[in-house]
């Protein structure tokens, strides 16, 4: 289910390619827990959350059922922790992708385009996890609350980037623009995950969907070239 989406242009010479960020572990005692979470994530990607069993998770992690229950009360507790970790990784990734300094020498339209395309790529690569978390959020308010907080934090990071380049943003309210742009991206990508199991639809190829989502967000933000904003 993985697709490859290349940015329209190369990143600035000083910027490394965008990538999914896994925050470093703080304690050695976390290693077993992280292996269990990694194992669960791999199994979800391969078989879906409904096929998860504690014994399979422990076996894949090179651990034991006892070690599993020493860290998680049950499989639901593991899935909740996995969602918390995924949200933390998403925020760390956003800190990298939306850092104003990263795009200092780049056109803002190009920066937003690259971030939207990268986000679409990550959504497809992590499709099984996205679908699992959507399903959990529908029945568990804790998942929904974490999802809402993630959206808020992403909007704040996008707002910081847009505010740093205010002269290139035509939308009159940067805070509102950032919040709606994030919702546009998330809503479209999650809809694709839930309904089409990816960005591809019978009438709309995935690369076209990504291209048009990018176009819609750029038009909504009303981004302008830096040279035009200076005139």
pLDDT of residue 231: 46
Handedness of CA 175, 154, 187, 1 (dihedral sign): positive
End-to-end alpha carbon distance in the chain: 46
For the chain, the C-alpha Rg in angstroms (whole number) is 19
- Provide the β-strand partners of residue 191: none
Per-residue pLDDT of the chain (231 residues; tens, 9 = 90+): 333 333 444 445 445 789 999 877 666 568 899 999 999 999 999 998 888 999 999 999 999 999 999 999 999 999 999 999 999 999 999 999 999 999 999 999 999 999 999 999 999 889 999 999 999 999 999 999 999 999 999 999 999 999 999 999 999 999 999 999 999 999 999 988 888 877 788 888 889 999 999 999 999 999 987 765 444
Tokens of 204: 């709309």
* CB-count burial class (<10 Å; 0-12, 13-18, 19+) for 76: exposed
Give the C-alpha separation, 194 to 190, whole Å. 6
Domains of the chain: 28-73 (1.10.10.60), 84-230 (1.10.357.10)
């Amino acid at each position: 289910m993985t697709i490859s989406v290349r940015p329209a242009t190369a990143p600035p010479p000083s910027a490394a390619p965008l990538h999914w960020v896994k925050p470093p572990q703080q304690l050695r005692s976390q290693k077993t827990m992280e292996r269990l979470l990694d194992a669960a994530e791999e199994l979800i990607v391969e078989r879906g959350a409904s096929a998860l069993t504690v014994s399979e998770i422990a076996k894949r992690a090179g651990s034991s059922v006892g070690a599993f229950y020493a860290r998680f009360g049950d499989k639901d507790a593991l899935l909740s922790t996995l969602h918390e970790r995924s949200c933390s990784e998403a925020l760390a990734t956003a800190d990298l992708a939306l850092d104003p300094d990263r795009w200092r020498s780049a056109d803002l339209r190009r920066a937003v385009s690259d971030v939207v395309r990268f986000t679409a790529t990550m959504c497809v690569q992590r499709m099984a996890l996205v679908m699992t978390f959507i399903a959990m959020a529908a029945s568990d308010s804790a998942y929904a609350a974490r999802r809402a907080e993630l959206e808020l934090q992403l909007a704040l990071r996008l707002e910081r980037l847009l505010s740093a380049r205010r002269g290139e943003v035509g939308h009159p309210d940067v805070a509102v623009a950032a919040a709606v742009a994030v919702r546009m991206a998330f809503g479209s990508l999650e809809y694709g995950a839930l309904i089409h199991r990816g960005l591809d639809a019978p009438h709309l190829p995935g690369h076209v969907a990504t291209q048009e989502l990018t176009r819609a967000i750029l038009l909504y933000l009303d981004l302008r070239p830096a040279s035009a904003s200076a005139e």
